[in-house]
Amino acid sequence: MALRSDQAKILRRKVVRSAFVRIGVFTLVVALAAVGFTLFLRDSVANFVADNTSRWVSLNSDAQLQHVLRENGLMDTSVALAYADSSLDPLAIPFSGEEYDEELAAIEEMRELGKESASADTSQKADGPTEGAGDVSVFVEGEGENDAEGAPSADNTLLTWEEAQEQQARENYFRAVKNRLHTEDDVLARTVYGCARMAELSESEAATMLEGLYRESQQQALDVWREQDPQQQAQQLSLSLVTPDPVYQVLTDSAGQVQIRDISIYSFIRSLRIPLLLLVLVVGWFVIIWLSLNKSMRYFDDLSEAVAGLLSNRQAKIELPDDLSIVQNELAVIRAQSLADERAAQAAETRKNELVAYLAHDIRTPLTSVLGYLDLLREGRELPRSVQQKYADIAYAKAVRLEDLINEFFEITRYNLSAIPIEREMVNVRFFCQQVAESFFPEAQSRHLEIRVVAGSEMQFFIDPDKLARAIGNIMRNAVAHAEEGTPITLEAVQGEDNATVIAVTNYGREISPEHLKTVFEKFYREDSARSSDSGGTGLGLAITREIVVAHGGIITAASESGRTVFTIVLPYVDRGW
């Protein structure tokens, strides 16, 4: 059936194609989203996650800075500390002998170091000092927000200030130095300040020198930190270990300061990118497959609703989705066939009920006649013998008629029209037709009818002779009953296509209407004119004939036009293999 083949294939292809298309589109969208995220949002999202799961910590390098200053002769210089706290010119400080020469050499060394640093890193001078480094400087040119009266002249020479102004300038410079060196060590700041004063360095030269020294100290501190184990690294940064194997991010800013943060949480989240992408794809595919299966299950819901509606109201219109058009057509055919079968069953039931009434009438009529004539014979013993013979013959004829009616009535239960047993044998066609015709000669002669048999003497067919004789006999009985007096009845057998045997019974009389031809082979069918005649049967004769012909694998048709009625039986050739 189309329901099991074409419709199932169509639905399967549609559901599978829809699922694959949706999966393909979903996968493409996810891939494009991943590419777009990588190109446009990854950095910002990564920074957001890292900033919210970690914090930057500056690497302390005070010990390394003191070591660098000491290597450059800037840490153990007592003159620098004294000069940082004095308002006198360095030449006015009473030094003598070897100590004085050493201090002057240290000052000259610091001056040369500052000048070399300034000339070696000209690009960093353009950046200027970090925040706080330029708030107040003793060496700035011109006036500023934090400058005091008596600032040094444009030639950057060291001048003598009044005590209050010089003290404020020194404190501002100390803060600038501590900001530049990222330290809170006052002694370290005062030493660098004093050395810078004695070396007569300008602001940019001092900033360059300090930046170079600080960069070197930060790099040394970073090297020392990297050589430590994770626990020591976390302790130095005052951080708590998130994982046994932390992941650190190291950043060096333009001022040379090293900042470190633990990005273990960010790295863990970042490692989930591929698994999360695969999870999204798998979940999406699962949802798409589930939706596709759910849609296919809705087809069954629609189909069950349509079948339930068809059972409750066969006249209702069957409405199904376009995808179930084949099923809709199939159900429409089933409904039409069911309605036709129902109407046929109702018509058969009506005809059967009518038949019972007709049989009761037909049986009562001959029975009444038999009883009447027998009663006359019983009471009229003095009647002439000829009259008694006449009454006896009439009673006998009515009894025979009654027997025929009862025999036909029992055909209703004796025949199972859907399973008639067939026992075949080879039979001569001409001989068979003559035997069937001879049984109707007496009745035909009484009505002045001529029965003609036309068949080849060599023709044979493989049939059940008893069953087929019964089938053709029913047709002949109707032909004799309905033919006009003096007309011929022809029983003809010829060879048809594919060696089939064609048997036709032709009679002339009142024709059968087209409406009756459609139902003439149905059970309990009787033409209206047969209901009031003694020749009317039960309405099973032609139905039994059709079933016998079908059991032989043949077909039977009827045609009636211009008073000529022909019943044609076509029996296929049976190849017995020899």
Tell me the pairing of strands 488-495 and 501-508. antiparallel
Range with lowest mean pLDDT among 240-254, 423-437, 494-508, 561-575: 240-254
The closest alpha carbon to 513, from 558, 555, 483, belongs to 558
The string of DSSP letters for 470-536 reads HHHHHHHHHHHHHBPTT-EEEEEEEE-GGG-EEEEEEEEBSPPPHHHHHHTTSTT---GGGTTSTT-
* 86, 93 Cβ separation under 8 angstroms: yes
* pLDDT of res. 333: 80
* pLDDT of res. 150: 36
* pLDDT of res. 483: 92
**pLDDT-based confidence at residue 570 (cuts at 50, 70, 90):** very high
For the stretch 337-363, pLDDT in tens is 888 888 888 877 876 776 677 667 667
Range with lowest mean pLDDT among 81-85, 293-297, 470-474: 81-85
Phi-psi region of 76 (alpha: psi -120 to 50; beta: other; left: phi over 0): alpha
What are the start-end ranges of the H helices in 121-272?
122-127, 163-181, 186-198, 203-226, 230-236, 264-271
**pLDDT-based confidence at residue 173 (cuts at 50, 70, 90):** low
Q: Which residues contact 109 (CB under 8 A, 6 or more apart)?
A: 72, 73
First to last CA, the chain: 37
Greatest mean pLDDT range, 89-98, 299-308, 392-401: 392-401
* pLDDT of res. 494: 94
Q: What is the mean pLDDT of residues 260-281?
A: 90
Element (H, E) at 285: helix 273-312
Q: Which residues contact 340 (CB under 8 A, 6 or more apart)?
A: none
Q: Which residues contact 201 (CB under 8 A, 6 or more apart)?
A: 110, 111, 114, 115, 139, 209
Output the furthest CA–CA distance in the chain (Å, rounded).
200
Q: Amino acid identity, residue 113?
A: L
Dist. CA 429–CA 455, nearest whole Å: 7
**pLDDT-based confidence at residue 29 (cuts at 50, 70, 90):** very high
Say if residue 486's pLDDT is above 60. yes
Q: How far is CA 156 from CA 141, 203, 421, 458, 513, in A?
A: 8, 9, 137, 150, 139
* pLDDT of res. 138: 32
Higher pLDDT, 299 or 533: 299
Q: What is the mean pLDDT of residues 397-407?
A: 79
Domain boundaries, the chain: 6-50+272-310, 62-226, 228-265, 313-414, 418-571
Average pLDDT, the chain: 75
Q: What is the mean pLDDT of residues 405-411?
A: 69
* 109, 73 Cβ separation under 8 angstroms: yes
Say if residue 394's pLDDT is above 80. yes
Higher pLDDT, 437 or 173: 437
* pLDDT of res. 436: 92
* pLDDT of res. 214: 82
Higher pLDDT, 195 or 40: 40
Dist. CA 221–CA 251, nearest whole Å: 13
For the stretch 503-518, pLDDT in tens is 999 999 988 888 888 7
Q: What is the mean pLDDT of residues 372-380?
A: 82
Q: Amino acid identity, residue 188?
A: L
Dist. CA 169–CA 145, nearest whole Å: 12
* pLDDT of res. 155: 39
Q: Which residues pair with 261 in a beta bridge?
A: 249
Range with lowest mean pLDDT among 213-227, 472-486, 525-539: 525-539
Higher pLDDT, 254 or 50: 50
Q: How many other C-beta atoms can be found within 10 angstroms of the C-beta atom of residue 505? A: 24
What are the start-end ranges of the H helices in 313-384?
325-379
CB-based contacts of 147-155 (< 8 A; 24+ apart in sequence)? none
For domain 418-571, say whether CATH 3.30.565.10 is its number.
Answer: yes
Residue 61 burial (CB < 10 Å; 0-12/13-18/19+)? buried
Residue 301 burial (CB < 10 Å; 0-12/13-18/19+)? exposed
* pLDDT of res. 344: 81
Greatest mean pLDDT range, 99-113, 401-415, 519-533: 401-415
Residue 213, CB-side half-sphere exposure with 13 Å CA sphere = 33
Q: What share of the chain is helix, strand, coil (3-state, %, to 5)?
A: 60, 10, 30
The domain 313-414 is classified under which CATH number: 3.30.1490.20, 3.40.50.10490, 1.10.287.130, 3.40.50.740? 1.10.287.130
Dist. CA 287–CA 291, nearest whole Å: 6
The closest alpha carbon to 124, from 133, 136, 112, belongs to 133
* 388, 377 Cβ separation under 8 angstroms: yes
Say if residue 146's pLDDT is above 80. no
